[in-house]
Amino acid sequence: MPLSLTRRDEVAVLVLDRQEVLNALSFTFLEEIADAFDAVGKMGARALVITGAGTKAFCAGADVKELRGRDPAAHRHSLRRGQEIFSKLEALPIASIAVINGYAFGGGLELALAATFRLAMANAKLGFPEIKLGMIPGYGGTQRLPRVVGEARALELILTGRTVGAEEALRIGLVHRLADGDPIEAGLAFARELTGYSLPVLALARSAVTRALDEPIHEGLKIEADVATLAFRTADAEEGMAAFVEKRAPVFRDA
């Protein structure tokens, strides 16, 4: 199974398990994740822990091979669908904790950003490498990252595509804490700091914080999908994807 959803006492635990592709997000896998989020809402759990199976990756992002040759209209539709799925996580009435073990790149980091909290294991590597493929984040990254680390750091991370480790991620506020040991147990321990409190009051507290943000995210997400589609239509995007698949350095031509 590409994922598992179980209960550990009062906490739901979602494990992404496509280890052969570093838990990457195919379109089919995204829909399975969406179904899991719907199921979580019906489980009566008081918190949700999300992590990736294995020791190499939380989630390495989109499956680039699925993107090549895709019609721009279909691509925009898939961007909006990915945004909608991750917004399901953000909108859950319970707190969610993403435990990042290994790589969290592109869509994987966007998934983690949609969670309420992020914990990083010592081997965590986080980043948005889309710029290296001639593209930009499209599942909410350009909107959520500035809200988490500020505009200046978000621009630097997205425009350079560089990777940050666990210690730097903590220092810049990209993750809330460092963790060790078993990722699920670390997530459960954090969740249990919250699960004893009133769920309605926890939800109200979260609402009060998020309403303080300046720009409604649904408007920002529309802009992101439009701009990400424009990026996808460039020759440089095709070159970036081709180079990735062919395991060579891309040659961008600003086209």
CATH number of the domain enclosing 137: 3.90.226.10
Beta bridge pairs of residue 4: 15
* Helix residue ranges, H only, the chain: 27-40, 64-67, 72-91, 107-114, 141-149, 151-160, 166-171, 183-191, 199-210, 217-232, 235-246
pLDDT tens digits for 18-50?
Answer: 999 999 999 999 999 999 999 998 999 999 999
On average, the pLDDT of the chain sits at 94
Active site residues: 110, 130
pLDDT tens digits for 179-232?
Answer: 999 999 999 999 999 999 988 889 888 888 877 676 688 888 888 898 888 889
Q: Is the pLDDT of residue 124 over 80?
A: yes
Asked if residue 140 belongs to a domain, the reply is yes
Residue with token string 């179904």: 35
Asked if residue 241 belongs to a domain, the reply is no
Asked if residue 187 belongs to a domain, the reply is no
Give the pLDDT score at 200: 87
Asked if residue 58 belongs to a domain, the reply is yes
Number of domains in the chain: 1
What angle separates helix 217-232 from helix 141-149, to the nearest 10 degrees? 130
Give the pLDDT score at 214: 66
Residue with token string 């180079």: 243
Give the pLDDT score at 128: 98
Asked if residue 199 belongs to a domain, the reply is no
What's the predicted TM-score (pTM) here?
Answer: 0.91
Asked if residue 254 belongs to a domain, the reply is no
Asked if residue 118 belongs to a domain, the reply is yes
Q: Which residue segment(s) compose the domain that 64 sits in? A: 3-182
Asked if residue 239 belongs to a domain, the reply is no
